[in-house]
Amino acid sequence: MADEEDELPETELSYDQKKEIAKWFLLNAPAGEINYVAKDLKAVLDDEEVYNEAAMEAFPVYNKSHMIFLEMPNRAGDVIVSSYSEITENEYLDPRTAQVAIVDHVKQICTKVRPADDEELPSSYIEEFR
């Protein structure tokens, strides 16, 4: 009888609670292990909508904080995904090749490459130090 009193009633987590917990697990994945964590998390959650929203929010932060590098299409080079090379949410500059890589954060691939505009390139003053 004491065991029955000690048990807490089961409560269902809200959508936002599930999403925040999923994001926490993704953001705290060890370096290079986020895809394994994501696969297991997807199976545990068993809710595609919660997983997709958490992944869309967590992967860009994780990729930038771990400064992952991705190969650009047509072997044009590699681009470092970091806050220093970020032009827009999904675009990152590779100053070596003067190209901008468009990145799919969740798949961790570079989908397209375009030439960098003059405004996006570092000034000649900065290039002297590079």
Q: Hey, what domains does the chain have and what are their CATH numbers?
A: 14-66 (3.30.1140.60), 68-130 (3.30.1140.60)
7-16, 45-54, 76-85 — which is least confidently predicted?
Answer: 7-16
- List the strands of the sheet with 86-88, edge to edge: 86-88, 91-94, 99-104, 109-115
pLDDT of residue 48: 93
pLDDT digits (tens, 9 = 90+) for 53-63: 999 999 999 99
124 confidence band (pLDDT: 50, 70, 90): low
- pTM, rounded to two decimals: 0.81
pLDDT of residue 2: 54
pLDDT of residue 101: 93
- Separation in Å, CA 62 to CA 6, 8, 56: 39, 35, 11
pLDDT of residue 11: 83
